[in-house]
Amino acid sequence: EAQVTQNPRYLITVTGKKLTVTCSQNMNHEYMSWYRQDPGLGLRQIYYSMNVEVTDKGDVPEGYKVSRKEKRNFPLILESPSPNQTSLYFCASSLFLASSTDTQYFGPGTRLTVL
């Protein structure tokens, strides 16, 4: 089954404790992206990757890191989480973003609470 998986689905942590949220897709997609969803703000892009070893900042990259060592995986790293990073996070992938026939597939989401 074609899908985007994220782990963990729920995480409660404390300020400053490094964490990683994993994202994996089994569709051989080139493009992967991370978003955060906050009430009243919709989805805002954190980082995206057009291909292996190619990553770029989205609209809200501060406090986050990503890596793309393999095509299927795109982990999101919070080196020193802070309470303002409490949010619902989505990973997404698509074959390319430029294609007019492309569709972006979203993972199920990771709800992160930073105390």
Partner 1 sequence: GQQLNQSPQSMFIQEGEDVSMNCTSSSIFNTWLWYKQDPGEGPVLLIALYKAGELTSNGRLTAQFGITRKDSFLNISASIPSDVGIYFCAGQYNTDKLIFGTGTRLQVFP
The residue ranges that bind partner 1 (CB under 8 A) are 4, 31, 33, 35, 40-45, 48, 50, 56, 58-60, 90, 92, 97-98, 100, 103-104, 106-109
Rounded CA separation 91/104 (Å): 10
3 vs 82, beta carbon nearer partner 1: 3
Taking a C-beta distance cutoff of 8 angstroms, is the pair 78, 64 a contact? yes
CB of 14 to partner 1, least distance (A): 25
Q: Which has the closest alpha carbon to 37: 95, 92, 93, 98?
A: 92
Q: How far is the CB of 73 from partner 1 (least distance, A)?
A: 17
